[in-house]
């Protein structure tokens, strides 16, 4: 589904990402881990089109996407979250989910002014889908609150729901557990695995929380100082000497 | 009693002119709210609306049409159509190519556009002021004939009611409609809206079109109210409306409405009780005062630096 080959990103004299390759197959949770400043988010930004990579190829659903603008890539079915929460804070919870479906319910202005049956029907469908996802992430009772007033963990879940209403095939989560307490992290675990199982989305994950990564990932890619260090199943990575060195330092 | 009537008269004049300022101010505040730039050509869009209305009215009169509602409605529709396509074109030609650059660049582009449009109308319509027929005449009078009389003209009532309708429609549009919802999302986080698949360019165009349409309505109304227009017609009104937008908190739509009314009332009170020559001093002085104590304007929220 996603094929990254020899991805490089250079900022002036700094080679932030050097020859990174990774794959995400259908129905798979793949994680990128590595120490702080290893270039994980840069990899993310290249894939999602925030940066135009200086080298390498990125194929998504068979199409080369490197250097394409972010909104075009997102329309292919790849959505992402950011390290910090980026909700529309002054809109209500349900509006956040409705606005994410804007493209799917594109109708012209006049049908909106006249409230044609078609318009109503689509709006109702969007509302149903929003309600479904709010229920799924446990925020249904808070539907009419302003998103900015939610607790942090709730905002994180709302973000995931907002990604899911766009019906993606691949979800990219940048440190979704950052700032969550252990109980919330466990809930998030279940949620992510559930998304994969029930909705057939693939997940590409950046995470610091080792327990989360080890538990839910099908495969893990380790990056250190912009270079690929190891990749494989959680078990393989756990026993890899290079990984242990990078994380614990050399003895 | 007489004092009260006099005060009432100033208040009515102020609310009339203030509501027209508010209509123009919406255009400034919405564009700022979405792409963070001041559209200095907005006053010219308003002026072009007034000219289009006048040309339409003259044309209809030449055709021998005398039924007032028809004339007004046709003039309104033409003014809105021309101004909104102009607003759309200005964004497309002068602002979109420089979007995302340093803040000063779109600003200079806007000033250039304003000068261009002003001079274009100078050339096309001449620089002298042209009389605008007072289509709506008459009004109510209060008070005894031998002392001060408060009068409300039908024109003033028309301005006030039209503004009220436009503002209500706009509020409903922004809060209820799909496009309005997308407008709010784009103004809060353009990048994220883009990522979620909203066609942000289209939303930005829509904002310009809405602002220009309201300005065109104001152009028709104030053209009739003042009785004459010239190519500089948009300059002062634009400046005042911009002041109103800043006063109320730029980026906030209710703020623009409030700012317009405050500005209008304070101007007419100054003219009524002090002297007409002081009205600009007072209104801009008020702006400075409010910005000193509340830098984000009356209803503006402090801008949080986006990371």
Residue B258, min C-alpha distance to chain A (Å): 21
Rg (CA), chain B: 20
Give a yes or no: residue A190 inside a domain. Answer: yes
Task: Judge if A174 and A73 occupy the same domain.
Answer: yes
Give dist(CA A14, CA A20) in Å, integer.
Answer: 15
Domain CATH code at residue B176: 1.10.3470
> What is the structure's pLDDT at B307?
38
Question: Taking CB atoms and an 8 Å limit, are A79 and B189 in contact across chains?
Answer: no
Task: Judge if A69 and A176 occupy the same domain.
Answer: yes
Q: What's chain B's average pLDDT?
A: 91
Give a yes or no: residue A238 inside a domain. Answer: yes
Give the pLDDT band of residue B95 (cuts 50, 70, 90). very high
Give a yes or no: residue B5 inside a domain. Answer: no
Q: Least CB-CB distance to A98: which of B181, B189, B192?
A: B181
Question: Taking CB atoms and an 8 Å limit, are A86 and B181 in contact across chains?
Answer: no
- Rounded to an integer, the average pLDDT of B142-148 is 77
Contact B111, B98 (CB under 8 A): no
Q: Could you give the number of structural domains in chain B?
A: 1
Give a yes or no: residue A208 inside a domain. Answer: yes
Question: Taking CB atoms and an 8 Å limit, are B196 and A102 in contact across chains?
Answer: yes
Q: Using one digit for the tens of pLDDT, what is the confidence trace for B265-275?
A: 999 999 989 88
- 3-state SS, residue A171: strand
- Identify from A92, A102, A115, A170 which residue to disrupt to test chain B contact, counting B C-beta atoms within 10 A and taking the largest count: A102
In chain A, which residue's Cα lies nearest the Cα of B170? A113
Per-residue pLDDT tens, chain A, 251 aa: give them: 898 988 999 988 888 888 889 999 988 999 998 888 888 889 988 998 888 889 889 999 888 888 888 888 888 889 889 888 899 999 999 999 999 988 776 656 666 666 778 788 888 888 999 999 999 998 999 999 999 999 998 999 999 999 999 889 999 999 888 888 888 888 888 899 999 999 989 999 998 777 778 888 999 998 888 888 888 888 888 888 888 777 766 54
Question: Taking CB atoms and an 8 Å limit, are B195 and A80 in contact across chains?
Answer: yes
Question: Taking CB atoms and an 8 Å limit, are A88 and B185 in contact across chains?
Answer: yes
A98 touches chain B (CB under 8 A): yes
- CA B276 from centroid of its chain's CA atoms: 22
> What is the structure's pLDDT at A110?
63
Task: Judge if A196 and A146 occupy the same domain.
Answer: no
Q: Least CB-CB distance to A86: which of B181, B192, B199?
A: B192
Q: Least CB-CB distance to B196: which of A91, A123, A166?
A: A166
A75 touches chain B (CB under 8 A): yes
Query: Which range of residues forms the domain containing residue B64?
Result: 23-133+152-293
B192 touches chain A (CB under 8 A): yes
Task: Judge if A128 and A59 occupy the same domain.
Answer: no
Task: Judge if A9 and A70 occupy the same domain.
Answer: yes
Give a yes or no: residue A82 inside a domain. Answer: no
Domain final position from A167, A200, A229 = A167
> What is the structure's pLDDT at B305?
46
Task: Judge if A125 and A246 occupy the same domain.
Answer: no
Domain final position from A167, A184, A199 = A167
Give a yes or no: residue A70 inside a domain. Answer: yes
Q: Could you give the number of structural domains in chain A?
A: 2
- Identify from A45, A71, A85, A115 which residue to disrupt to test chain B contact, counting B C-beta atoms within 10 A and taking the largest count: A71
Give a yes or no: residue B57 inside a domain. Answer: yes
Q: Using one digit for the tens of pLDDT, what is the confidence trace for B246-266?
A: 999 988 889 999 999 999 999
- Identify from A86, A99, A108 which residue to disrupt to test chain B contact, counting B C-beta atoms within 10 A and taking the largest count: A99
Task: Judge if A20 and A137 occupy the same domain.
Answer: no
Q: Least CB-CB distance to B181: which of A99, A107, A166?
A: A99
CA distance to B42, B107, B194, B207, B210, per residue, from B174 (Å)? 20, 26, 19, 11, 11
B193 touches chain A (CB under 8 A): yes
In chain A, which residue's Cα lies nearest the Cα of B188? A88
Residues 151-180 of A with CB under 8 A from B: 162, 166
SS3 of A36-101: the string is CCCCHHHHHHHHHCCCCCCEEEEEECCEECCCCCHHHHHHCCEEECCCCCCCCCCCEHHHHHHHCC
> What is the structure's pLDDT at B197?
84
Give a yes or no: residue B42 inside a domain. Answer: yes
Give a yes or no: residue B14 inside a domain. Answer: no
B194 interaction partners in chain A (CB closer than 8 Å): 70-71, 74
Give dist(CA A68, CA B213) in Å, integer.
Answer: 35
Residue A239, min C-alpha distance to chain B (Å): 38
In chain B, which residue's Cα lies nearest the Cα of A89? B188
Give dist(CA B136, CA B224) in Å, integer.
Answer: 8
Task: Judge if A110 and A213 occupy the same domain.
Answer: no
Question: Taking CB atoms and an 8 Å limit, are B195 and A71 in contact across chains?
Answer: yes
| Percent composition of chain A: helix, strand, coil (DSSP 3-state, to 5) | 40, 25, 35
Give the pLDDT band of residue B26 (cuts 50, 70, 90). very high
Task: Judge if A73 and A175 occupy the same domain.
Answer: yes
Residue B75, min C-alpha distance to chain A (Å): 22
Note the ipTM here.
Answer: 0.83
Query: Which range of residues forms the domain containing residue A202?
Result: 1-77+170-251
Residue B260: phi, psi to the nearest 5? -60, -45
Q: Using one digit for the tens of pLDDT, what is the confidence trace for B190-204?
A: 988 988 888 899 999
A99 touches chain B (CB under 8 A): yes
Give a yes or no: residue B298 inside a domain. Answer: no
A130 touches chain B (CB under 8 A): no
Question: Taking CB atoms and an 8 Å limit, are B196 and A99 in contact across chains?
Answer: yes
Residue A215, min C-alpha distance to chain B (Å): 29
Task: Judge if A213 and A228 occupy the same domain.
Answer: yes
Question: Taking CB atoms and an 8 Å limit, are B197 and A103 in contact across chains?
Answer: yes
Task: Judge if A179 and A232 occupy the same domain.
Answer: yes
Least confident of B122-131, B141-150, B220-229: B141-150
């Amino acid at each position: 589904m996603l094929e990254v080959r020899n991805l490089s990103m250079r900022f002036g004299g700094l080679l932030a990402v050097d020859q990174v390759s990774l794959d995400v197959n259908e129905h798979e949770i793949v994680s990128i881990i590595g120490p702080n400043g290893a270039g994980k988010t840069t990899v993310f930004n290249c894939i999602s089109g925030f940066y135009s990579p200086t080298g390498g190829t990125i194929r998504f659903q068979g199409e080369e996407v490197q250097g394409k603008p972010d909104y075009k890539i997102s329309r292919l079915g790849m959505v992402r979250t950011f390290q910090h929460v980026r909700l529309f804070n002054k809109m209500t919870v349900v509006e956040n989910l409705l606005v994410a479906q804007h493209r799917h319910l594109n109708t012209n202005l006049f049908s909106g002014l006249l409230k044609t049956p078609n318009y109503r029907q689509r709006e109702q469908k969007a509302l149903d889908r929003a309600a479904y996802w709010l229920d799924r992430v446990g925020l249904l009772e808070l539907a009419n609150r302003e998103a900015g007033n939610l607790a942090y963990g709730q905002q994180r879940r709302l973000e995931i729901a907002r990604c899911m209403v766009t019906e993606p095939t691949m979800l990219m989560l940048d440190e979704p557990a950052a700032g969550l307490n252990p109980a919330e992290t466990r809930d998030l675990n279940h949620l992510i695995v559930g998304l994969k199982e029930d909705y057939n989305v693939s997940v590409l994950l950046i995470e610091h929380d080792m327990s989360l990564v080890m538990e839910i990932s099908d495969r893990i890619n380790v990056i250190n100082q912009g270079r690929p260090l190891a990749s494989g199943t959680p078990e393989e990575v756990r026993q890899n000497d290079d990984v242990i060195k990078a994380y614990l330092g050399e003895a | 009693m007489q004092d009260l009537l006099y005060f009432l008269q100033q208040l009515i004049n102020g609310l009339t002119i203030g509501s027209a300022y508010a209509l123009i101010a919406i255009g400034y505040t919405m564009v700022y709210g979405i792409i963070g730039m001041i559209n200095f050509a907005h006053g010219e869009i308003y002026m072009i609306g007034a000219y289009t209305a006048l040309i339409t009215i003259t044309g209809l009169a030449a055709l021998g049409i005398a039924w007032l509602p028809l004339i007004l409605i046709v003039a309104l529709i033409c003014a809105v159509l021309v101004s909104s396509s102009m607003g759309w074109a200005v964004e497309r030609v002068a602002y979109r190519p420089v979007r995302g650059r340093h803040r000063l660049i779109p600003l200079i582009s806007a000033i250039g556009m304003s000068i261009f449009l002003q001079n274009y109308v100078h050339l096309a319509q001449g620089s002298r002021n042209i009389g605008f027929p007072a289509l709506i005449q008459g009004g109510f009078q209060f008070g005894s004939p031998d002392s001060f009389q408060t009068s409300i003209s039908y024109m003033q009532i028309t301005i006030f009611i039209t503004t009220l309708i436009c503002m209500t429609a706009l509020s409903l549009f922004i809060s209820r409609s799909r496009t309005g919802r997308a407008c709010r999302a784009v103004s809060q986080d353009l990048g994220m809206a883009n990522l979620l698949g909203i066609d942000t360019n289209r939303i930005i165009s829509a904002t310009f079109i809405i602002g220009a349409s309201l300005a065109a309505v104001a152009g028709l109304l104030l053209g009739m109210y003042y009785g004459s227009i010239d190519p500089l017609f948009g300059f002062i009104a634009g400046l005042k409306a911009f002041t109103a937008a800043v006063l109320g908190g730029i980026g906030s739509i209710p703020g623009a409405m409030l700012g317009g009314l405050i500005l209008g009332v304070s101007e007419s009170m100054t003219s009524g009780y002090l002297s007409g020559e002081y009205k600009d001093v007072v209104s801009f002085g008020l702006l400075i005062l409010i910005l000193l104590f509340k830098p984000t304007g009356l209803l503006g929220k402090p801008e949080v630096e986006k990371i």
